Amino acid sequence: MFSSMTNITKFASPSTSTSTPVQTQTQTQTLSRYESQKRRDWNTFGQYLRNMRPPVPVSQCTCHHVLEFLRYLDQFGKTKVHLHGCSFFGQPDPPAPCSCPLRQAWGSLDALIGRLRAAFEEHGGSPEMNPFGNGTIRVYLREVKDCQSKARGIPYKKKKKKKKVLKTTEGSSASNPHF
């Protein structure tokens, strides 16, 4: 299907003998934070697929593998998500510790999926076959968001865009225009 996707080491620099000076210059520049995260996330996901029994090539990855990966990541989460039976369910600032599990925060998972979706296409995957853009993943993320907002008592609301305020200079005013 797309052979370049099975080669996770695509990010490695090619030998300098085959690259032009322009290519070498752009490769030695530091990556942006986003690009570094995207590379790290892509490598982590590839390693996860290789560690499955039997190993799964990225070209055969489905949305079900992505869901399993997201659930696997929960064990490394830092966000306390209260269960329905917990006395602190729905309280944003509980007064005492509880035994409820730590999970990955919804925002972190959402950003991760966005980076992996972009990386998939950069490695030769078609947008139509992108398992990270599948509707099942969007539904899962929406359920995580709703569950976490109820459990923590924090509603997720879209942030309003701030209006730009035009500053006037001291020497000019609207009532005294200069012509």
Segment 116-127, tens digit of pLDDT:
999 999 999 999
Residue 24 has what pLDDT?
47
pLDDT at res. 8:
36
Q: Using CA atoms, how far apart are residues 145 and 107, in angstroms rounded to an integer? A: 8
Domain range enclosing 64: 31-152
In 3D space, the residue among 139, 129, 138 whose CA is nearest the CA of residue 61 turns out to be 129
Has residue 5 been placed in a domain?
Answer: no
The per-residue pLDDT for 151 is 82
Name the token pair of 65: 């593998």
- The token pair at 135 is 């509707």
Which one, of 87, 90, 96, 141, lies nearest residue 117 by Cα?
A: 141
The pLDDT of residue 19 is 45
Distances (CA, A) of 79 to 35, 46, 108, 135, 161: 25, 25, 10, 25, 27
**Cβ–Cβ under 8 Å, residues 121 and 55:** no
On whether residue 112 sits in a domain, the answer given is: yes
Q: What is the pLDDT of residue 15?
A: 40
Q: Is residue 26 part of a domain?
A: no
The answer to whether 106 and 141 have CB atoms below 8 angstroms apart is yes
10 is a domain residue:
no
User: Residue 178 falls within a domain, yes or no?
Assistant: no
Q: Which pLDDT score is estimated for 32?
A: 93
Is there a domain that residue 43 lies in? yes
Name 111's Cβ contacts closer than 8 Å, sequence gap at least 6: none
Q: Which helix (H) or strand (E) holds 38?
A: helix 33-51
* Consecutive H or E run containing 80: strand 79-80
* Cβ contact 129:58 at 8 Å: no
The neighbouring-strand residues paired with 176 are 173
Q: Give the total number of structural domains in the chain.
A: 1
How many other C-beta atoms are found inside a 10 Å radius of the C-beta of residue 8?
Answer: 17
125 domain residue, yes or no: yes
What's the pLDDT score for residue 91? 83
Alpha-carbon gap, residue 143 to 55, rounded angstroms: 29
For the chain, list residues with pLDDT below 70.
Answer: 1-28, 154-161, 163-179
Q: Which runs of consecutive H residues, i.e. helices, occur in 52-134?
A: 63-73, 106-122
Q: What is the pLDDT of residue 5?
A: 39
Whether 40 is covered by a domain: the verdict is yes
